[in-house]
Structure 1
Amino acid sequence: MKTRFLLVLTCLQAGAAYSQDIISQKTQQVETGLLPAVYIEGRPHAVYKLADRMAHYKVPAVSIAFINHGRIEWAKAYGYLSEEQQVKADTLTLFQAASISKPITSALLYKLAAQGNVALDEDVNKYLRNWKLKPSPFTAKKPVTLRGLLTHTAGLSVEGFHGYAQGSPLPTTVQILNGEPPANSAPVVSIAEPGTGYRASGGGYVVVKQAVEDVTSHPFATVIKDLVLKPAGMVHSTYEQPLPPQFHQQAAAAHDVNGHMLPGRWHTMPEVAPDGLWTTPADLARFLLTLTQSLEDGYDALLTQEQTREMLYARENMGMWQHRDPSHGWYGSGHNDGYNAEMLMFPDKGQGIVVMTNGDYGRRLSNEIIRGAARVYHWERPRPATQTVIKLDAQTLQDYAGTYGMEGLPYHVKIAVEGDHLRATLTLDNTESVLYPASKERFFSPEEGREVTFLTAEDGTVTGLAAGPARLQKMPAAGK
């Protein structure tokens, strides 16, 4: 009997060691198999090493959590908390989640609705005591609701926020909503009829924050900790802003496009509902797993199966996530100054990945990591696309050079010729993109996969450019 027991124990240990070896091999394959957004036809397919791409993008720290078989299979951190202090990042290092704060805020509102504290389709002013959304011709027929705010269909202004340097005066929530000093953002107002389309509005989530605090009479950070973070097992996460001093030593500092640390290490984000979460990839993975378990098994530590299904898949809730098709994955992305976070979950596979970085080029790096993981774990997507580059004459390229903008937009795009291609610089944060011609008017970025199409008048004069839904006009050259 003793011999049989030892044999079984030995087999179990050997199986565990073999399993760990497989996990280590796949982890290494991800680390050495980063992939670009685009392969260029006729050129060798690029494959990168993580350390090389961190240096290329000037991102000091990366942290990854990988989900497999419905659990966190591995988590690993790379690099350092800042360019100045050579303190190694680890899996408990905190990063700003930026807009990934929003789907977690959405879960809180579903929890409050389930408790009977709010109704998602009522006029939000019903729940606001210390501030009210002003009447507008846009809201004469249909009110702004919590659901509309969560899904970016309420027709409100203020797309996003940049936060406040350490030591700067911080505005109250009401000051942010009114656009009053020391707030550095515009007032949150109605700019379109509710329900008439998607318009990204971080300002709408600030209204949600005010409603939560008015309804519960408690700070938003406390309410979401008790009702969402704790039930989801997110024990290393907080919405507290400014970040409490006891967490400073484990927080990654923010870095700009040149790899320089922001003054004061990071910006404070008093707009906590849309952008204020400090967390780790493992904690975000736990949130994804909690939702998955609720869908599959009715696990109701956070929400019931019905509530989770409605939050994720109801047609009227499009906009809470960037993408949430079960076969293509739930996808969330966030960018604050100096930080980027990406999360992707395939609930039908029990697989997913979360990547967090502390650099302004972090999104490009994170997506290269995710595409590499897709190849290692045999996901259909995301994978590199393939584009053909054509050769354009020097004059055609020069015609595209210039500055592009739009009235009311606080930034411009500068286009310059660089050999046989173009370079685009976004003045908002000085991020740059190399653009190769796929046709006379259409260009693409191999690192991002983004496409830019130049617009021309009937006589061939370049009048503007289109990048996704954005349409920018070419501005007259100085002196003209």
Structure 2
Amino acid sequence: MLLGAAHPAAADEQGFDKALADFRQLHRAETSRAKIAGSSFYLVRDGRVVAADHLGEQDAEAHVPVDARTIYHWASVTKTMTGIAIMQLRDRGLLSLDDPIVKYVPELAAVHNPYGDTGAITLRQLMSHSAGFRSGTWPWREQDWQPFEPASWSQLVAMLPYTRVEFEPGSRFGYSNPGIVYLGQVIERLSGEDYEVYVDKNILKPLAMHDSYFDHTPPHLLPHRSHSYYVRDGKRVAAPFDVDTGVTVSNGGLNATMPDMANYAAFLLGDPARAIDYDRVLKRSSLEEMWQPQISAGADFTQGRMATTTQSGLSFFVDRSAGVRFIGHNGDQNGFRAYLSLCPDQRAGSLLAFNTETQGVQNSPANRETAESRIALATDRLCEALAK
């Protein structure tokens, strides 16, 4: 036996430590190079935060630094909580995933469906983005005086007779924000509570996410609310501050600190020691059901790992690379970029938040080349190191 030879477990940890150090260096360098005002990174492993980095400023004008209390907007990562809420209602016997959406939201019968009966579109198809509805919720947001998002359900109802199903439901993937708004209506109508109230009671509070909320920031948290920015023509410009997502809250209204999101990631990854508490939110078997591929999303380069191998599960995106299973969701809205990426078989997951969008999201392989995407995709190597 050679003297100084490392124990296999120690060698594995050395490989992981190097991967983490390399990632941190990349995160810092890319954030600076791309003129991103502020960013945070957390790594959760075996239920604990093992890395927590905060870079730059939450308010670039007042020079307020990012820290653990900084509140980011998580945009479409909200959709994962909407999916969990639907699964909670399913497990309580209040619905089936294969129920037609018009059973709960009959107003949708007014939608024009050239492919058949709108009554055949199911909750499962909405959760997997295969129902055929368009991507954008609201086509009018070109002037400063226009609302950020529609404020009320009645505004969307008025649009339904002018709404067309874009492709045959169930035939392919098509990322749809309005589809998730419709699921939000299901949650409200079956629970008898506003979406925000339901999720607060059934997800946020049970997971001790006490600095998380939807839309406008309460006064006691306002000093910690991050501003957001766009980089346009090489210059950083401010986005509107503390916006309200209105009736679209179920597809993108979540605001949260990194420690709160670490609690969420720990729940998603699971912990036998906390199984009783976590199962009160959602059973492990139901989470695993959400992570089963439903349809290929490989033609869409805006979600998950933004790869041809990406598949849509139920409110999560699923992929596999270098023998590692990845589960996650991305978010982008109003200058914020957010990434939730889990490798559950390695009991690890990463959280990345940016308060600056360097380029607009585009459905193209080029979307993988933005600074935010390069940093997010680099977290794959952390999971790959743990899998060796």
Q: Tell me the TM-score range normalised by the shorter chain.
A: 0.7 to 0.9
Radius of gyration: which is bigger? 1
Q: Identical aligned pairs, as a percentage?
A: 21
Matches for 1:425-436 after TM superposition, within 5 Å: none
Closer, same or farther: CA 376–219 of 1 in aligned 2, 3 Å: closer
Find the counterpart in structure 2 of residue 332 from structure 1: 329
- The one-letter code matched in structure 2 to 1:95 is Y
Q: Is the 1:163–1:269 contact (alpha carbons within 8 Å) kept by the matching residues of 2?
A: no
Find the counterpart in structure 2 of residue 125 from structure 1: 102
- The Cα of 1:360 is off from its aligned counterpart by 0.9
Closer, same or farther: CA 27–282 of 1 in aligned 2, 3 Å: farther
1:204 lines up with 2:161 in the alignment: no
Matches for 1:35-434 after TM superposition, within 5 Å: 50=28, 52-128=29-105, 131-134=107-110, 136-140=113-117, 143-159=120-136, 169=147, 171-179=151-159, 188-239=163-214, 241-257=215-231, 258-262=235-239, 264-270=240-246, 271-293=248-270, 299-313=278-292, 315=294, 318=313, 320-325=315-320, 327-361=324-358, 364-370=370-376, 373-375=379-381, 379=385
Structure 1, residues 7-55: CA drift from partner, whole Å, max 9, x if none? xxxxxxxxxxxxxxx99998655332x1xxxxxxxxxxxxxx61x4323
What count of residue pairs does the alignment treat as equivalent?
Answer: 337
Find the counterpart in structure 2 of residue 30 from structure 1: 23
Return 5+ residue gaps in structure 2 as ranges.
1-14, 296-311, 360-367
Closer, same or farther: CA 242–225 of 1 in aligned 2, 3 Å: same
- The Cα of 1:232 is off from its aligned counterpart by 3.1
Closer, same or farther: CA 201–25 of 1 in aligned 2, 3 Å: closer
Closer, same or farther: CA 26–161 of 1 in aligned 2, 3 Å: farther
C-alpha distance in 2, partners of 1:102/1:233?
19
- The one-letter code matched in structure 1 to 2:206 is P
- The one-letter code matched in structure 2 to 1:115 is R
Structure 1, residues 112-151: CA drift from partner, whole Å, max 9, x if none? 111122222111121126x434253434286122211111
Q: Is the 2:19–2:381 contact (alpha carbons within 8 Å) kept by the matching residues of 1?
A: no
Return 5+ residue gaps in structure 1 as ranges.
1-21, 35-48, 181-185, 382-480
TM-score (norm 1): 0.62
Q: Is the 2:291–2:314 contact (alpha carbons within 8 Å) kept by the matching residues of 1?
A: no
C-alpha distance in 1, partners of 2:170/2:205?
33
| Larger RCO (CA within 8 A; separation ≥ 6) | 2
C-alpha distance in 2, partners of 1:355/1:88?
17
- The one-letter code matched in structure 1 to 2:151 is P
- The one-letter code matched in structure 2 to 1:281 is M
- The one-letter code matched in structure 2 to 1:173 is W
TM-score (norm 2): 0.75
Structure that is richer in helix per residue: 2
Closer, same or farther: CA 106–378 of 1 in aligned 2, 3 Å: closer
- Aligned residue for 2:96, secondary structure, equals coil
C-alpha distance in 1, partners of 2:140/2:45?
35
- The one-letter code matched in structure 1 to 2:54 is A
Find the counterpart in structure 2 of residue 477 from structure 1: none
- The Cα of 1:157 is off from its aligned counterpart by 2.0
- Aligned residue for 2:185, secondary structure, equals helix
- Aligned residue for 2:346, secondary structure, equals coil
Q: Is the 2:77–2:331 contact (alpha carbons within 8 Å) kept by the matching residues of 1?
A: yes
- The Cα of 1:83 is off from its aligned counterpart by 2.0
C-alpha distance in 2, partners of 1:116/1:327?
34
C-alpha distance in 2, partners of 1:94/1:187?
37
C-alpha distance in 1, partners of 2:319/2:208?
22
- Aligned residue for 2:55, secondary structure, equals strand
- The Cα of 1:56 is off from its aligned counterpart by 2.4
C-alpha distance in 1, partners of 2:199/2:62?
32
